[in-house]
Amino acid sequence: MTLPFHIHVVFTDRPCAGNPLAIVEDVDDLTAAQMQGIARQFNLAETIFIQRPADPAHDAKVRTLLPATEIPFAGHPAVGGAIHLATRRAGSGDLACEITLEEAAGPVAVTVTRTGSAVHGEFTAPILPHPHEGRIAQDALAPALGLDAGEIGFGGRCPGLWAEGAGLSLCARGQLRGAVPLPPSGAAPVAGDGGGRAVGRLSPCGVQSGCLASATLTALRAG
C-alpha cells in the first residue's frame, strides 16, 4: 500500500523553524494500529490522518496521533491540516475559506486565509484546558523530574492533571533554579500522569520580572 504524505511546518514564517507536522491522506482503510505505527515512524510531535468525512457538509474527518497514542484534538495539526486542504484545493493566489474538520473532540471550523505567501489559520478550540480525573503519584513525581521532594508545591499549589486534547501533568515547584535538566529520556513515566506524555513545571518568580509564574513544558517518554 502506498499512501501520500506531506510534512508541513506550522507556527512560523521561515524555513527550519516552527512546529513540524506529518499529514497522511487516503487512510480510510487503515487500522488504528497501522496509524499508530506510522505516527511512531515519523516520530514528530503529532501526525494527522485525513479521512473521508462522515458529514458531507464537512471537509474531512481527521485523527491526531502522537508517536505513542491518539488524542482527540491538538491545535497545530488542526491548523496545518486545514491549511493543507485549503491550499491544495485552491491552487495559487490569495484565498479566504473555511475548512471544517471532524475531530474526535467535535467539529472544528478553521478559517484559512492566504495573502501573497503568508498563510494563516484561525479556529475556536473545541476543548478548553480543564482538570483531568485521577491523581499523580507524588512520591514518584520528584525523582521522575529530578527534583527534591521539598521542592514540590508552593502557595497551596499541588501537582495536578489537566487536559486540552493532550494530557498534561503540572508540577508546582517551590523555587526557580534556572534551567534544571530532566533525567534522561529513558526515565520511567510518572504513575497516574495519563501516560507520562508531558509534564509541566510551574515555579514562582520575582514580581520584578513582571510575571507571577514561570512554566516549562517538557516531554517524557510514553510508557
- Catalytically annotated residues: 46
Tell me the three cell numbers of residue 20: 513540524
Amino acid in position 65: L
Strand partners, 198: 219
Evaluate whether 1 touches 34 at the Cβ level (below 8 Å). Answer: no
Q: Which residues, at least 6 apart from 188, have a Cβ–Cβ distance to it below 8 Å?
A: 144, 196, 223
Which of left, alpha, beta for 155 (phi over 0: left; psi -120 to 50: alpha)? Answer: left
Question: For residue 130, with 0-12 CB atoms within 10 Å meaning exposed, 13-18 middle and 19 or more buried, which class applies?
Answer: exposed
Tell me the three cell numbers of residue 102: 471532524
Q: Report the run of H or E that residue 196 belongs to, with start and end.
A: none
Work out the number of other CB atoms within 10 angstroms of the CB of residue 20: 18
Nearest CA to 5 out of 46, 69, 49 is that of 49
Nearest CA to 22 out of 50, 61, 52, 2 is that of 50
